[in-house]
Amino acid sequence: MVWSVLAQEVVMYTKVQLVLTEDLHQRLRQAALRRGVSMSQFAREALVRALEEEAEARRARRRQVLEELAAVRHALEEAGVKPMSGDEIAEMIRQMREERLDELTRNALGH
């Protein structure tokens, strides 16, 4: 681990090793040189950007799914279908399990 003090904030770094193709290594080296930063700094910043983009993509997908669910719920309400409560769903699942267990028992006993 490496410790650093940046803008009066203590930052802890963990050293990792990456295996890069020669081409990727050269591209990283050139990009870091153009920016005037170390390859490590360039890679850290690129990782932060990539992880933030990935997190935003997950949030966007979650929003999309919630919007789709809201549209389904609205369509069901328009059709006069009343949403089930959590207790009603739990009871329905319990009943389905009980019926399936009864069926499996009958089949096992040959009835």
Helical residues (DSSP H) of 1-111, grouped into ranges? 22-35, 39-78, 86-109
- Is 0.85 topped by the overall pTM? no
Note whether residue 111 is domain-resident: no
The pLDDT score that the predictor gives to residue 10 is 79
Which residues form the domain of 68? 2-104
Of 18, 19, 16, 21, nearest to 2 by C-alpha is 16
The predicted structure's pLDDT at residue 110: 84
Residue 110 placed within a domain:
no
109 in any annotated domain: no
Q: Give the pLDDT of residue 4.
A: 59
pLDDT beneath 50: ranges in the chain: none
Q: State the sign of the Cα–Cα–Cα–Cα dihedral 17, 14, 38, 48.
A: positive
Indicate the number of domains in the chain. 1
Look at residues 46, 48, 24 and name the one whose alpha carbon lies nearest to residue 35: 46
- Tell me, what's the pLDDT at 3? 55
The pLDDT value recorded for residue 75 is 94
pLDDT of 84:
87
> What pLDDT, on the 0 to 100 scale, is given for residue 82?
86
User: How many beta carbons lie within 10 A of that of residue 46, not counting itself?
Assistant: 13
